[in-house]
């Protein structure tokens, strides 16, 4: 894949200090308190062409902290909506490309979790509470707000999950809500911490689509801080979300993953492509196949998969089902990595995503996404390298 070098200006990191959990409205409140403008959010939300609501903010002092309470006042009854309806609504709103993509990604994450809980498909999920206009505004507002603040990477602290039970359209459910528990797989959580529901499904979906767990300890240069207020009042902690905008001082991030590996010498080679597709669909970071010589001089393949520890058993089940191996080995690995994000650029062949990596204050590598370029080349009947070169040039112009 062709690459270009660009300088990524003014991109910041966001750290969500969620000592009291979080929800969609708390995230938007913290974003507005950190510098985004309510009037601009109202104009962005107007493009959704959904009526029957009014946006407002007010100061709420919690344990001496002046936090911003973001509220969506619902004035009319709202219909239940499916993922397709909400996606069409967002795509037709005239929002920036990144905001559109991120907002849809949040809803897709939520639909996937709900579908798993209710044993159905994402397209068939009825969004009840989350399909209401207030939750749509919260999700679009979060995607819009992080873009408006120039945030390229979002990190979140360990999350208190609360205790007890909550009421939903399906009846009484345990805390954390089943969809919330699904969405937060891979995030550090503290079970039985908090007097009630501390993380809502909307808040969890925003994290699943846009955020990653913060490394511990986290070195962070804070530039500004915003506080978003929750609705409930707790006796053991202030119910606010603290949003810190700044930068990690190093270009190198770090995290921990696991490597799952197997030596295979009796599998039809045609199966490896199908296996790789299944593994990537399940959320692995990378799949590699290395030719090797095994016992008795037999040629074989070392299958190596990098993934988050939380999905180890799921990945193992796929490998056992699709290959002939009867044993797997795994071990934890620490990684150093460049900061990365995906942006979208407009070319005469359509929209192409470009992956950016590196320290925001220094030149970074920009690599147009192969599948986007390949699709555009086929649709427009032009050489693939022409689309790649134009996307790289567009990235240089956008980020110079």
The pLDDT tens digits of the residues spanning 235-291 come to 999 999 999 999 876 556 667 899 999 999 999 999 999 999 999 999 999 999 999
Same domain flag for 177 and 306: no
Same domain flag for 274 and 357: no
* Distance (Å, whole) CA 387 – CA 373: 6
- Enter the tokens of residue 135: 């939750």
* Distance (Å, whole) CA 23 – CA 45: 19
Same domain flag for 326 and 351: no
Residue 3 in domain:
no
Q: Report DSSP letters for 143-159, one per residue.
A: HHHHHHTTEEEEEE--E
pLDDT band at 51 (very low <50, low <70, confident <90, very high): confident
Closest-CA residue to 226 (of 56, 27, 13): 27
Is the pLDDT at 313 greater than 60? The verdict is yes
Residue 114 in domain:
yes
- What is the reported pLDDT for 360? 56
Same domain flag for 322 and 286: yes
Residue 219 in domain:
yes
Long-range own/partner contacts, residues 129-133 (CB < 8 A, 24 or more apart):
129/168, 129/169, 129/201, 130/201, 130/202, 130/205, 131/78, 131/79, 131/80, 131/81, 131/82, 131/86, 132/74, 132/78, 133/50, 133/52, 133/53, 133/72, 133/74, 133/78
Q: What is the pLDDT of residues 78-100, one digit of tens each?
A: 788 888 999 999 999 999 999 99
- What is the reported pLDDT for 240? 98
- What is the reported pLDDT for 131? 46
Is the pLDDT at 174 greater than 60? The verdict is yes
Please, are residues 368 and 389 in contact by the beta-carbon 8 Å criterion?
A: no
Q: Which one-letter DSSP state was computed for residue 215?
A: P
Q: What is the pLDDT of residues 351-371, one digit of tens each?
A: 999 988 876 555 578 899 999
Residues in Cβ contact with 361 at an 8 Å cutoff, skipping those fewer than 6 apart = 247, 251
Same domain flag for 260 and 123: no
Alpha helices in the chain (DSSP H): 24-33, 38-46, 83-91, 97-118, 133-148, 178-183, 201-210, 271-281, 312-322, 370-380, 384-399
Boundary of a domain, candidates 250, 278, 294:
250
- What is the reported pLDDT for 225? 97
- What is the reported pLDDT for 234? 95
Same domain flag for 74 and 137: yes
Average pLDDT over residues 41-60: 94
The least confident of 133-137, 264-268, 303-307, 364-368 is 364-368
Instruction: State the Cα angle at 205 between 200 and 207, rounded to 5°.
Output: 100
Q: Tell which wins on pLDDT, 118 or 240.
A: 240
- Return the CATH number at 287: 3.30.70.1380
- What is the reported pLDDT for 48? 94
Is the pLDDT at 215 greater than 60? The verdict is yes
Q: What's the mean pLDDT when you consider all of the chain?
A: 90
- What is the reported pLDDT for 220? 85
- Enter the tokens of residue 178: 């089943």
Same domain flag for 171 and 141: yes
Closest-CA residue to 155 (of 78, 286, 248): 248
* Distance (Å, whole) CA 349 – CA 327: 47
The domain tally of the chain equals: 3
Boundary of a domain, candidates 284, 315, 334:
334
Which range of residues forms the domain containing residue 275?
Answer: 253-334
Task: Tell which phi-psi region holds residue 171, choosing left (phi > 0), alpha (psi between -120 and 50) or beta.
Answer: left
Same domain flag for 125 and 30: yes
The whole-angstrom distance between residue 284's C-alpha and the CA centroid of its chain comes to 15
Same domain flag for 136 and 227: yes
- What is the reported pLDDT for 1? 45
Same domain flag for 261 and 306: yes
Q: Is the pTM of this model over 0.75?
A: no
* Distance (Å, whole) CA 124 – CA 121: 5
- What is the reported pLDDT for 6? 46
Same domain flag for 319 and 350: no
Percent of the chain whose pLDDT exceeds 90: 70
Residue 228 in domain:
yes
- What is the reported pLDDT for 167? 79
397: phi then psi, degrees, rounded to nearest 5: -65, -40
Boundary of a domain, candidates 334, 353, 388:
334
pLDDT band at 338 (very low <50, low <70, confident <90, very high): confident
Same domain flag for 156 and 195: yes
């Amino acid at each position: 894949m062709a690459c270009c070098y660009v300088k990524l200006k003014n991109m910041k990191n966001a750290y969500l200090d969620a000592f009291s959990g979080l929800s969609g409205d708390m995230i938007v409140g913290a974003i507005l308190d950190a510098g985004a403008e309510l009037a601009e959010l109202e104009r962005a939300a107007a493009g959704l062409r959904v009526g029957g609501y009014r946006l407002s903010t007010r100061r709420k002092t919690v344990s001496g902290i002046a936090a911003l309470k973001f509220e969506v006042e619902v004035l009319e009854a709202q219909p239940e909506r499916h993922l397709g309806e909400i996606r069409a609504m967002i795509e037709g709103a005239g929002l920036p490309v990144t905001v559109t993509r991120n907002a849809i990604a949040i809803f897709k994450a939520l639909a996937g979790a709900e579908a798993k809980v209710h044993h159905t498909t994402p397209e068939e999920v009825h969004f009840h509470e989350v399909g209401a206009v207030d939750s749509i505004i919260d999700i679009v507002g979060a995607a819009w707000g992080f873009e408006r603040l120039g945030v390229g990477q979002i990190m979140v602290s360990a999350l208190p999950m609360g205790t007890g039970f909550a009421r939903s359209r399906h009846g009484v459910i345990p805390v954390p809500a089943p969809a919330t528990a699904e969405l937060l797989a891979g995030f550090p959580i503290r079970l039985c911490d908090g007097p009630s529901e501390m993380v809502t499904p909307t808040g969890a979906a925003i994290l699943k689509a846009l955020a990653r767990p913060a490394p511990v300890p986290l070195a962070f240069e804070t530039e500004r801080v915003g506080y978003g207020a929750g609705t409930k009042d707790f006796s053991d902690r202030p119910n606010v979300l603290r949003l810190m905008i700044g930068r990690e001082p190093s270009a190198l991030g770090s995290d921990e993953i696991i490597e799952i590996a197997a030596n295979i010498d009796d599998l039809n080679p045609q199966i490896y492509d199908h296996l790789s597709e299944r593994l990537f669909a399940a959320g692995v970071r990378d799949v590699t196949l290395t030719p090797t010589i095994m016992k008795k001089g037999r040629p074989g393949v070392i299958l190596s998969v990098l993934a988050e520890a939380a999905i180890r058993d799921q990945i193992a089940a796929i490998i056992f089902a699709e290959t002939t191996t009867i044993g797997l080995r795994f071990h934890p690995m620490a990684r150093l990595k460049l900061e990365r994000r995906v942006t979208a650029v407009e070319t005469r062949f359509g929209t192409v995503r470009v992956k950016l990596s590196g320290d925001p204050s220094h030149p970074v590598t920009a690599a147009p996404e192969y599948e986007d370029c390949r699709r555009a080349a086929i649709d427009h009947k032009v050489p693939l390298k022409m689309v790649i070169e134009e996307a790289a040039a567009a990235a240089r112009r956008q980020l110079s």
